[in-house]
Structure 1
């Protein structure tokens, strides 16, 4: 594989691995927040109007920013009727073809994310809850997460092509 592709794969994988490992810690922040909200509501009769919504934002950040890391670790669910019986080369070819379909899907998501984010920033869009937080920050995170997934998909595509050609990219 050309050096530019090798460097691309290396840097995208390093970046997504680091972000993914940091984002994994958000689960503990979310657990702490939900525990605090539950204790506040049951013991002190003071429900938090922002607790559930912030935990939803944290969960969305958790899976959107962690998606690329998940893909890198091959942790996404795969329907395996024939896949395990195929040779490594056949798997690489099929994976490369399906990643191209993923590019189309993620491209559409990214276009929608950019449009939605620019709308939220331009018009100061807020949530329709009593707390009414601005939606631009979570939409920015959403768009970044989709972009990271798209970059990781391209990295995965290059790895699959290399495997199909009998090389290894790591």
Structure 2
């Protein structure tokens, strides 16, 4: 289990780096979008290439950031239910979900998207828009993104199993922190309870 936890730690570090680098793509997309809008309004010029690179960057943020999201336990959950369950029960649900859904889905989508990328790469497929971009880089995001998800899901599986076996105190690497608004709401609720108790 020690070797598997080291592997999990390595995967986590890689996806942490990929996630942080991916955040810069958001800035790139915003700057290109703003620049494109300014050029269009001021000089009455437009570029399909600049428009398409925005879409590429937007797609890259989601596809390359998926492992980072899973690492931070920030994926969609039914919080109303999961918050009422124990860590152990949630870990068991996660193990079943990873094995039954995430890993098979990732493998299927890698298998389906790789030929799409390869065909576009070999043929040199271009955008149908005038001055548009070559298509294979955006197609490559699909198998790469699902590979990232697959590898991170293996890391999460290792951590959940290690937690269930008593080798870790927590099932997650990062626990979701409460926002300032949530903390304030909880504090106000506690104060309201104290006022009610004093009134009685």
Report deviation, 1:85: 1.3
- SS for the counterpart of 1:131 is coil
CA contact (8 A) 1:17 1:69 kept: yes
TM-score (norm 2): 0.80
Q: After superposition, where does 1:127-138 map in structure 2 within 5 Å?
A: 127-138=127-138
CA contact (8 A) 2:32 2:54 kept: yes
Deviation per residue, 1:125-154 (Å, 9 max, x gap) = 222222232111222233212111110011
Higher RCO (CA < 8 A, seq sep 6+): 1
TM-score (norm 1): 0.93
Unmatched tracts of structure 2, length 5 or more: 174-200
Decide which structure has the larger Cα Rg and report it.
2
Unmatched tracts of structure 1, length 5 or more: none
Task: Give the number of aligned pairs.
Answer: 169
CA contact (8 A) 1:67 1:145 kept: yes
CA contact (8 A) 1:90 1:164 kept: no
CA distance in 2, matches of 1:62, 1:31: 12
CA distance in 1, matches of 2:88, 2:112: 35
- SS for the counterpart of 1:122 is helix
Cα RMSD for the two superposed structures: 1.4
Aligned to 2:120: 120
